[in-house]
Structure 1
Amino acid sequence: MKKRILLVLIVVMLVNGFALTASAASKPPTFVTVVMDGTKLWFPDAQAFIDENQRTLVPVRFVAEALGAKVGWEAESRSVPIQKDDQNIRLTISSHVATVNGEEVAFDTQAVMQGGRTFVPLRFVSEILDVAVEWDDKTTTVLLSTTKQLNGERDPWGRLIRTTDLPSNAADYSYILADIPNAMYEMAYPYSAPDDRKVSSTLYATIPEYNKGNVDIWLGRLKTFGALWLNVDYRTIDDAWAQALFATKLQNSNAELKYIREYVDWVKDNKIQIEGYLDPEPSMIYYDGFGADYIRVKFRINFISFDKQERLLYDEWFPKDAKFEKNVWYEGYSDIKMKASVGGDWGNSLKVSSTASLFFNHTISKVE
């Protein structure tokens, strides 16, 4: 079954064990959000990415298991057996051919392994697993739809809204999503002015700038910032990375570029290598009353290499007493600060603040 897939992404996403070339070090990977039947798929580590032929590849295990399939791994043949209903599927790493119920099906993109995970092209998901695929370019989101009937209202980003087991502060939000735990909603807000602060439900209902068009722009900028910020490799980092990170932030001068360059030197000296991603939640925006907006994100980060456990991240709030273990994934929620440069119709100017921090208002724990 042929499905039309529109894919307009330009950069490869970092995944565990994938070293960028020096020329690619400054190019931010584009994070791809995957939503299946209205529910966001939270991948534990390896994320969807774009190959050298500009095709989106997704981690097959997590997508297939979300569809109710059983997924295995056979090391000797480097193949992945998948069983779904009456289908028996076999993928072989670095092969353009999959076997489906004994018949070969060819693809123009091969299955690949990165960071211990097997990735397949979206065409495989569409044709073999029988899932309709759509692409939302504005939010870099893959929308997967199965044939099952869905009940319930969806938000502007295609995700299911729930009306039961609501968080204690549900009134602060325009709606509550089925795939977001109450803990993310109930996390304390950043320090704010009591009389002037505004929660998401108020912002969306009363201020014109808080509309989907502007929020999509903000999400894109925040994803680009996070892709650079949380993916650092002492072997490839260069001044182009410093300038690319600087460009994602709201600045009145070039002063901060000096500090980013100092961090680049420290990354090289301290042999820092980290990988991670952050996923901003458009329904969770908070105005602090002091002129800043915060967008809540879910993040994961892995500190792969370092000599000293100091300034592992370009973040003035990085904990001085940090005791992060190497090659261990940590996850949590954080409010990332964003600022606008103009008044009036300011929506298009909102960018990441120069003082944005992963650790200013956050939760973090080891992934077990």
Structure 2
Amino acid sequence: MKKWVGASLALMMLFGLPAGISSAAAKAPAFVSVVMDGEKIWFPDAQAFIDENSRTLVPVRFIAEKMNAKVGWESDTMTVPIERGDRQIRLTIGENKAIVNGEEVTFDTKAILRGGRTFVPLRFVSEVLGAKVEWDDATSTVLISTVEDVEAKYDQWGRLIRTTDLPKNAKDYPYILADVPNEMYEMGYPYSNPERSKVSAVLYETIPEYNKENVDIWMGRLKTFGALWLNVDYKTIDDEWAKAIFATKMQNSDAELKYIRRYVEWVKENQIQIEGYLDPEPSMIFNDGLGVDYIRSRFLIKFMSYKESKELLYDTWFPKDIVFDKNVWYEGYTDIKMGTNVGGDWGSTLKVAPSASLFYNHIIKKVE
């Protein structure tokens, strides 16, 4: 259920980890989607996240500039001056307050500097920048509204639907989103049984399990999985990480856990550090007719440290013929394999498949 965030509310944006997920999952930055005026914001590097105190923080420059505000930086005082309309705002790193037209506004979380970006609590966006902020707890999504368009059409996740410049295979989808490029829609599907496979337009129309309640559960599991899978540090990785990854996946036994543990040891030996984000798209699901669902997702990934450029990710399809440059962001689209071992009403049980891969069916390129 969505809830409006008011100016007097302490913005308690808490969400529990899925059943079976260890508290180790908190070691990875929980990925938060941000949708502004119906269009998802995909930040070029540092994404919004939930901190260790369960507070949602967003990169202020990108949010403010999307709202047509001017943003500066004063390095000597670690201060961020912002102008929006008749509002003069001064925000200082390490402080839980902002000065707005000479008046002090306080928050329950400090502004922080992370990866060269200034992050502010989400309450800052609603109280200081003057936007309406809505939190979708089921999908860990922030919805920011700055304008109202009564003529616009939105999907059930608050995303703006477009009707022009459609992809060649638009009929495969229940609708086409304004913020999703045609390249993502037109990417080829994974290997399938062509006589039995079903595209998302058919799945949503004909199969009861493909409803918002179930899809929200799947998206939550994928986000948790991605936050762990694409964020690895040889200095901190441990067996709790292995157990947390294992808990996000569909299993018939504990067999896969030993392979995850081997990867943990390889991360330490090879001194692997990875940072990344996985953002699944709920309207883009494909059933291959062989008993498997794939959820198309957008991703960002950066390989910061390694001795050997091999098996950097826990992924049986990790490419052997590509050497990834260090400290360079790569972006792309991928179909993440999902599965269940439950018959009948299986909808809520779908989890990440053991053989899920970033590279099985994908597009990847350097961020320019």
User: Which TM-score tier does this pair reach, normalised by the shorter chain?
Assistant: over 0.9
Separation in 2, partners of 1:107, 1:187: 43
Task: Deviation per CA, 1:212-262: give whole Å up to 9, x if none.
Answer: 000001001111111111010000111111111111111111111111111
User: C-alpha displacement at 1:3, in angstroms?
Assistant: 5.5
Query: After the TM superposition, which residues 1-368 of structure 1 pair with which residues of structure 2 at under 5 Å, given as runs?
Result: 2=7, 4=9, 5-9=11-15, 24=24, 27-368=27-368
* 1:275 partner amino acid: E
Q: Tell whether the 8 Å contact from 1:6 to 1:134 is kept in structure 2 after alignment.
A: no
Q: Give the secondary-structure state (helix, strand or coil) at the position aligned to 1:124.
A: helix
d(CA) in 1 for partners of 2:346, 2:25: 32
Larger mean CA deviation between 280-289 and 135-144 belongs to 135-144
2:31 partner SS: coil
Q: 1:72 to 1:333 in 2, by over 3 A?
A: same
Report the residue type matching 2:13 in the other structure.
L
Deviation sequence 1:297-329 (CA, Å, 0-9, x none): 000000010000010000010001121111110
**Secondary structure, aligned partner of 1:246:** helix
In the aligned structure 2, how far is the partner of 1:174 from the partner of 1:3? 38
Judge conservation of contact 2:317–2:359 (CA < 8 Å) in 1: yes
- Rounded to whole Å, the distance in 2 between the matches of 1:275 and 1:119 is 17
Q: Post-superposition shift, 1:108?
A: 2.8
SS in 1 for 2:198: coil
SS of alignment partner, residue 77 of structure 2: coil
Q: Secondary structure at the match of 1:243?
A: helix
**Greater CA deviation, 247-256 or 26-35?**
26-35
Query: What's the CA shift string for 1:269-298, capped at 9, x where partnerless?
Result: 000000101000000000001100000000
The answer to whether the Cα contact below 8 Å between 1:125 and 1:131 also exists between their aligned partners in 2 is yes
What do you get for the CA RMSD once the two structures are aligned? Answer: 1.6
Q: Is the 8 A contact 1:26 1:237 kept in 2?
A: no
Partner of 1:20: none
Partner amino acid, structure 2, of 1:263: Y
AA aligned opposite 2:350: L
User: For residue 216 of structure 1, what is the amino acid of its counterpart?
Assistant: D
Please list the CA deviations of residues 178-236 of structure 1 after superposition, one character each: whole Å capped at 9, or x if unmatched.
Answer: 11010000000001111011000000000000000000010011111111110100001
Aligned-partner Cα distance in 1 for 2:24–2:94? 23
Secondary structure at 1:98's aligned position in 2?
Answer: strand
Is the CA contact (8 Å cut-off) linking 1:10 and 1:54 kept in structure 2? no
Rounded to whole Å, the distance in 1 between the matches of 2:184 and 2:355 is 22
AA aligned opposite 2:354: S
SS at match of 2:64: helix
- Any idea what SS the aligned residue of 1:336 has? strand
Q: Percent identity?
A: 68
Q: Distance in 1 between matches of 2:129 and 2:65?
A: 11
SS at match of 1:283: strand
Residues 33 and 234 (structure 1), Cα distance of their counterparts in 2 relative to 1, 3 Å cut:
same
Note closer, same or farther for the CA distance 1:26–1:9 as it changes in structure 2 (3 Å cut).
closer
Instruction: Please tell me the residue identity of whatever aligns with 2:260.
Output: I
Instruction: Provide closer, same or farther for how the CA distance between residues 26 and 97 of structure 1 changes in structure 2, counting only shifts above 3 A.
Output: closer
3-state SS in 1 of match to 2:296: strand
- Change in CA separation of 1:337 and 1:51 when aligned onto 2, cut-off 3 Å: closer
Shift of the 26–38 alpha-carbon distance from structure 1 to 2, 3 Å rule, reads closer
Asked if 2 retains the 8 angstrom alpha-carbon contact of 1:6 and 1:135, the reply is: no
Which residue matches 1:16? none
CA–CA separation in structure 2 for the residues paired with 1:89 and 1:151: 33
Please, what TM-score do these two structures have when normalized by structure 2? 0.93
Say whether the 8 Å CA contact 2:31–2:50 is kept in structure 1.
no
Matches of 1:190 and 1:53, distance apart in 2: 39
In structure 2, the CA distance between the partners of 1:116 and 1:260, relative to structure 1 (3 Å rule), is same
The aligned amino acid for 1:2 is A
Question: What is the CA–CA distance in structure 1 between the aligned matches of 2:54 and 2:252, rounded to whole Å?
Answer: 36
* Ranges in structure 1 where 5+ consecutive residues have no aligned partner: 12-22
What one-letter code is carried by the residue in structure 2 that aligns with 1:335? D
Deviation, 1:84, is: 1.0
Q: 1:95 Cα deviation (Å)?
A: 1.5
CA distance in 2, matches of 1:123, 1:108: 9
- Note closer, same or farther for the CA distance 1:108–1:6 as it changes in structure 2 (3 Å cut): closer
In structure 2, C-alpha distance between the alignment counterparts of 1:286 and 1:365, rounded to whole Å: 23
CA distance in structure 2 between the aligned counterparts of 1:311 and 1:319, rounded to whole angstroms: 8
Say if 1:49 and 1:56, in contact at 8 Å, map to a contact too. yes
What residue is the counterpart of 2:20 in the other structure?
none
Size of the aligned set, in residue pairs, is: 357
